[in-house]
Chains A and B, each alone.
Chain A
């Protein structure tokens, strides 16, 4: 079943980190409850006109920051013992590369790899 944008910590963390510190969403224009359909291409620094090669470079970089900020600001545990930061990052950057993916897709990857301690 497709992942749904809801009021859980994976969705809240996705939204909160993209808003601040990554500064890619305007919270006044895009409230959290309506952000599930928000496309990656709408993020401030998504390189729309660039070639695939450059979009991938950008995606790897912002994905690494996203993962680091989740680890810094949230108390997360592995969803599975075999999970690693590397696997989580390698599932996250392709979402950032594809402008048609949404914040729901990003939250789904986060939820697939992480359990939040107060959930």
Chain B
């Protein structure tokens, strides 16, 4: 078994035991399985795929917020609403996500991930009564991941430090980012090992999400509601020449999504993620509808 998985398990087990024994804590789970139609610039055929995601999160080291002095048995008392909704907690989160297509060669996003994050988060809401009040959210911690192509035929493990933050207004425009720096063990990635014998390397990873609400032509059936830009970057630090020449040192991908009413959207993506061997433009038209 890989050392990253063993290290992750050793850290996760006592944390989950602690989370189960201490109060107040909470569990949160989420899953999604959605059909998507992908039209890649490199293939003349549209590909039907399934985008999947499953995740479970445990929180611990959470302080129970006390009601304000104006709270009674009958009334909430809103004088300390912000303090009561300010979250400071430790977390452990397990996630599985990817995009599956019938023919892996046609998958324009052949990047799957099993991920364990362990860290601490501080979340401070905006006070609606205060002019200029800002929403703030920060987190930091460790990441252990198994990344692979669609079928996990080629894989790599990641151990990294990571931090995230969000600024702006959740109902108008906002920007959120996650940064990670750590070591990758790519000894089970055949495409890389055919080019170099350097099987471990340092990597910088980043995600930036920007969302902006559109407020023109409201009430029209096909007026866009918002536009979002999501950018992910994975860059090898000091890569060998063979990896640079094969264009496997930097993977980056941007997605622009125009969202319409009732779940309709058009998304255009450009670039490649780890395990994608060539950069592609993909047009995705879909409906935000889960199968189960």
Binding site for B on A (CB under 8 A): 21-24, 26, 28-30, 38-39, 41-42, 44-45, 47-54, 56-58, 60-65, 67-69, 71-72, 76-78, 81, 83-86, 88-90, 94, 97-100
Contacts and interface: CB of A to CB of B under 8 A. Distances in A.
A83 B71 CA distance: 10
B219 interface: yes
Given A26-B219, A54-B164, A62 B75 contact: no
B41 interface: no
22 contacts: A22-B171, A26-B219, A39-B263, A45-B174, A47-B209, A48-B228, A49-B267, A50-B176, A50-B207, A50-B228, A52-B53, A53-B139, A57-B137, A58-B166, A62-B171, A71-B81, A83-B76, A84-B71, A85-B80, A86-B65, A89-B84, A98-B30
Contacts of B10: none
The list of the 6 closest CB pairs from A to B, nearest first, reads: A64-B125, A61-B170, A86-B65, A49-B230, A28-B219, A81-B73
B288 A78 contact: no
Contact of A76 (B71, B76, B174): B76
A52 B228 contact: no
Contact of A54 (B85, B172, B207): B207
Contacts of B202: none
A89 B213 CA distance: 24
A29 B135 contact: no
A53 B126 contact: no
Interface stretch (B12-20, B183-191, B253-261): B253-261
Contacts, number: 174
A18 to B, nearest CB: 9
Contacts of A83: 76
Contacts of A39: 263, 288-289
Given A23-B171, A89-B84, A65 B263 contact: no
B164 A57 contact: yes
B3 interface: no
Interface residues of B, number: 67
A94 B81 contact: no
Interface of B: 26, 28, 30, 32, 53, 55, 57, 64-65, 67, 71, 73-76, 78, 80-82, 84-85, 87, 93, 95, 117, 123, 125-129, 135, 137, 139, 164, 166, 170-172, 174, 176, 178, 207, 209, 211, 213-215, 218-219, 221, 223, 225-226, 228, 230, 255, 257, 259, 261-263, 265, 267, 288-290
B219 to A, nearest CB: 4
Given A44-B171, A60-B123, A65-B170, 16 more contacts: A26-B261, A44-B225, A45-B171, A50-B207, A50-B228, A57-B137, A58-B170, A65-B128, A68-B125, A68-B127, A68-B129, A76-B76, A78-B76, A85-B80, A89-B84, A94-B28
Given A45-B171, A45-B174, A77-B75, A52 B55 contact: yes
Which of B26, B176, B262, B263 lies at the interface centre, i.e. has the most chain A CB atoms within 10 A of its CB? B176
Contacts of A99: 32, 288
Given A52-B55, A61-B135, A65-B128, A44 B209 contact: no
A71 B76 contact: yes
Given A61-B166, A64-B126, A29 B75 contact: no
A24 B171 contact: yes
B213 A85 contact: no
A44 B213 contact: yes
A47 B261 contact: no
Nearest to A38: B262
A20 B68 CA distance: 27
A65 B126 contact: yes
Contacts of B289: 39
A57 B176 contact: yes
Nearest to A29: B261
